[in-house]
Structure 1
């Protein structure tokens, strides 16, 4: 009987390790699951923000980490892997939980100066994400709209996972937008 309990405990520990490793792989983006079965789409955003700065300046603030010299703080969040004339391939690092663990996404970022920045997921915790920052000139500055879509596979399980990922994704974007607004408005007052 003791041998059966030892086997069951070993099997349970092994299964728990596989589940924990699979979860860590999905969250970090190291395990890209794209089976194309039961694909479900959900919107991201829209998130809207009015910024008291000219559109070209807001665009420059968004593009800075990708096209310009990145600060040390930005390099901890974004690493440009490949650069073209109007597009980059970039890895984005997002701290999770206590900050010891980071989610890594790899995305193409395309620039249409000065009105649009488009992102397309290449590798991450879900098989499909497309998103855009659209900038509209206004009398008082710039109106920024963020929107996109996220897709997962595997029907209901994927829908559950997509809801978890989308909540974190949109919170990260919201924090980014606040940073863009703060920096663009700071630069606008110093011009």
Structure 2
């Protein structure tokens, strides 16, 4: 192989490698969503159940407050409301990935049905389809919050593999969010009780 041909092969390999890296980064961060509608497969998200020692209205307010009211400064690195209505918002959610070096951005509609339900629908993100719900029911000890959802990916097995990777991180982020909701709702209940 001549030196010139070796340089062309190396340049081509670098270009292909760079393109693959850029595509991966675009997918991970949600900047380049792939929604081709071919080979769609769906998988369940959750369910995750959390029992919260707080009234259902308080739990609902903890979840809905940053969306329907003023988003606290402490949440500005996780949430930005783009459009706010009476019972529906369009919001960006930010999740650190790659050890915090990157930030995944999802855009979702969030619909509020007081006091029993909050529904999320993905508009843009690392997969083409996600629908989720928080369903709140009253219990003798307070509130039971049940999270369930469905994620869809395209391109058959490749999409299924990608969906499994995304779902693991997605459910971990939801788990952290539910723990935060539980802590804040119980804190508010303790303060109001005296």
TM-score range, shorter chain: over 0.9
Distance 1:183 1:33 in 2: 36
Aligned length: 191
TM-score (norm 1): 0.99
108-117 or 70-79: which moved more? 70-79
Match of 1:159 in 2: 160
Structure 2 residue runs of 5 or longer lacking an equivalent are none
Distance 2:94 2:82 in 1: 13
Q: For the Cα contact (< 8 Å) 2:68–2:87, is it kept in 1?
A: no
Give runs of aligned pairs for residues 63-78 of structure 1, distance below 5 A: 63-78=64-79
Q: Secondary structure at 2:175's aligned position in 1?
A: helix
- Following TM superposition, where does structure 1 have runs of at least 4 consecutive aligned residues deviating by more than 4 angstroms? none
Structure 1 residue runs of 5 or longer lacking an equivalent are none
TM-score (norm 2): 0.97
Structural RMSD (CA): 0.6
Match of 1:127 in 2: 128
Q: Secondary structure at 1:114's aligned position in 2?
A: coil
Give runs of aligned pairs for residues 22-33 of structure 1, distance below 5 A: 22-33=23-34
Distance 2:135 2:99 in 1: 33
Q: For the Cα contact (< 8 Å) 2:117–2:135, is it kept in 1?
A: yes
C-alpha displacement at 1:31, in angstroms? 0.4
C-alpha displacement at 1:98, in angstroms? 2.5
